[in-house]
């Protein structure tokens, strides 16, 4: 990938499906069950655009180099969940994650969102992700001990949006 290629973020297209699966596979941190869930949410979104799951793809030219999925949280006013954010390992360090995050931020602010939640693993292989969320302005708000398995906690990051920025 040429490093000068500009990263563009837009709504995911049906034909991004295979690339999204491939990026999730290459990321190397997701279990089989998690990868199935990515496809399930993507297919739900394609079949019912009002499902509440919003998808973004990051592109370098024609190539998909990252994706993100978020949506409104049930039972809460102005709260959103970030379900997945993932950058192709080849494209890391080029601001792909930051660009995806900024696109979601803009959408959430646009919808007068109050907060975004990220439920993720506190395991060692997720440390780079945790540091990324903190750089994006998220607070580490909770830790559920031994959630995924003994020794692997769940951590919850929250980004609060000031409605008068």
Contacting positions for a copy of itself (CB under 8 A): 31, 33-34, 37, 74-79, 114-115, 117, 141-150, 154, 156, 158, 160
| Residue (79 or 92) nearer to a copy of itself, CB | 79
Cβ-based nearer residue to a copy of itself, 62 or 75: 75
Which CB, 105 or 152, lies closer to a copy of itself?
152
Give the C-alpha separation, 113 to 45, whole Å: 20
Cβ atoms of 104 and 56 within 8 Å: the answer is: yes
125: CB partners within 8 A, 6+ apart? 29
Nearest approach in angstroms of CB 163 to a copy of itself is 9
Q: Which is nearer to a copy of itself, 109 or 145 (CB)?
A: 145
Query: Nearest distance from residue 63's CB to a copy of itself, in Å?
Result: 29
**Cα separation of 107 and 130, whole Å?**
22
Minimum distance between the CB of residue 132 and a copy of itself, rounded to whole angstroms? 20
Strand partners for 99? none
Taking the least distance from each CB to a copy of itself, the nearer of 20 and 41 is 41
**Min. distance of Cβ 74 from a copy of itself in angstroms?**
7
Q: How far apart are the first and last CA of the chain?
A: 36
Closest approach of a copy of itself to the CB of residue 102, in Å: 23
Contact between residue 126 and residue 158 where contact means Cβ atoms under 8 Å apart: no
Handedness of CA 115, 116, 119, 125 (dihedral sign): negative
């Amino acid at each position: 990938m040429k490093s000068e290629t500009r990263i563009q973020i837009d709504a995911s297209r049906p034909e991004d499906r295979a690339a999204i699966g491939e990026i999730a596979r290459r990321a190397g941190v997701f279990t089989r069950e998690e990868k199935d869930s990515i496809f399930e949410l993507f297919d739900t979104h394609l079949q019912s655009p009002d499902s509440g799951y919003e998808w973004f793809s990051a592109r370098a030219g024609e190539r998909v180099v990252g994706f993100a999925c978020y949506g409104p949280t049930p039972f809460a006013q102005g709260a959103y969940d970030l379900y997945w954010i993932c950058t192709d390992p080849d494209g890391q360090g080029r601001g792909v994650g930051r660009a995806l995050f900024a696109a979601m931020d803009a959408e959430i602010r646009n919808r007068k969102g109050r907060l975004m939640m990220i439920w993720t693993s506190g395991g060692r292989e997720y440390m780079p992700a945790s540091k990324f969320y903190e750089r994006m302005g998220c607070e580490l708000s909770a830790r559920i001990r031994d959630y995924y398995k003994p020794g692997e906690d769940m951590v919850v990051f929250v980004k609060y949006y000031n409605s008068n920025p």
